[in-house]
């Protein structure tokens, strides 16, 4: 808490500067609303309860997309690490799936999955899949050869080597991939809603834009950032627990 004090002080200073400048220079509220107006809008959204359904939908899309993408990413990372032939066969396609602009797939996903949460969850999963696959692949490949030889010497089977040597050794790398995926899942959920959502924080931004309500857009930025930070911190806690169990010391 004491260490985050300077950051907080900087935030307050920046907000004051912003407020003063907007008032003195008489900037139109449509271009840049003052922080006081943004906070007032945020409070009224919270107090009226209008915010909660949107927050719940976006958070669910994030979590579902992240969970689905992380599971598939981890599984394919393990499969590609274990089978060099499979890696050679599928690598170009996996790479292509990441290089195609995923948000441009949005309209197609709406045709496939209809409006609602499903297309956004699919986009989020597609985005989250990649960092988990890459880190699982790298982590499993980089297991110390001497320890592999030890397991061979002890007559360990391939599943035993995977579960008792390779996955525990790769876990710190995989957890770093999960942290990246959390950040990307928020982008996936919000931007997915831009394209096809009717409910959710991203959809609310589009709605606010259509009525030129800049201070509502800013208020939604704050909510989205807070949601991302909360999930990121949750993953950090999970990571610390897992690493305490599976690392040195």
Chain contacts with another protein (rule: CB under 8 A): 144, 146-147, 149-156, 160, 164-165, 168, 245-249
- Give the nearer residue to another protein in terms of CB position, either 164 or 241: 164
- Give the nearer residue to another protein in terms of CB position, either 87 or 239: 239
Closest approach, Cβ 160 to another protein, in A, equals 6
Q: How crowded is residue 17: how many other Cβ atoms within 10 Å of its Cβ? A: 11
Spatial distance between the Cα atoms of 171 and 215, rounded to a whole number of angstroms:
43
Closest approach, Cβ 170 to another protein, in A, equals 11
- Give the nearer residue to another protein in terms of CB position, either 35 or 168: 168
Closest approach, Cβ 156 to another protein, in A, equals 5
- Give the nearer residue to another protein in terms of CB position, either 15 or 242: 242
- Give the nearer residue to another protein in terms of CB position, either 1 or 146: 146
Q: Are 69 and 129 in contact (CB under 8 A)?
A: yes
Q: Supply the Cα-derived Rg of the chain in whole angstroms.
A: 22
Closest approach, Cβ 178 to another protein, in A, equals 18
- Give the nearer residue to another protein in terms of CB position, either 103 or 156: 156
Both ends of the chain: CA-CA distance in Å?
Answer: 26
Closest approach, Cβ 149 to another protein, in A, equals 7
Closest approach, Cβ 243 to another protein, in A, equals 9
Q: How crowded is residue 232: how many other Cβ atoms within 10 Å of its Cβ? A: 13
């Amino acid at each position: 808490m004491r260490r985050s004090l300077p950051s907080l002080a900087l935030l307050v200073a920046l907000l004051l500067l912003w407020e003063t400048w907007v008032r003195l220079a008489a900037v139109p509220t449509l271009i840049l609303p003052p922080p006081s107006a943004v906070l007032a809008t945020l409070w009224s959204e919270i107090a009226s309860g209008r915010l909660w359904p949107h927050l719940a939908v976006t958070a669910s899309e994030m979590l579902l997309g992240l969970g689905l993408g992380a599971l598939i990413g981890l599984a394919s990372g393990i499969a590609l690490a274990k089978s060099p032939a499979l890696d050679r066969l599928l690598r170009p396609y996996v790479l292509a799936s990441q290089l195609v602009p995923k948000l441009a797939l949005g309209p197609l996903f709406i045709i496939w999955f209809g409006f609602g949460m499903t297309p956004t969850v699919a986009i989020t999963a597609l985005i989250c899949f990649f960092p988990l696959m890459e880190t699982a692949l790298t982590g499993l490949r980089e297991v110390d050869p001497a320890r592999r030889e030890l397991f061979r010497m002890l007559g360990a089977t391939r599943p035993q080597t995977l579960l008792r040597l390779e996955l525990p050794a790769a876990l710190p790398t995989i957890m770093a991939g999960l942290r990246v995926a959390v950040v990307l899942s928020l982008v996936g959920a919000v931007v997915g809603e831009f394209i096809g959502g009717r409910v959710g924080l991203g959809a609310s931004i589009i709605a606010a834009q259509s009525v030129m309500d800049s201070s509502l857009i800013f208020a939604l930025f704050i909510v989205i950032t807070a949601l991302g930070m909360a999930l990121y911190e949750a993953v950090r806690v999970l990571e610390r627990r897992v690493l305490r169990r599976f690392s040195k010391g």
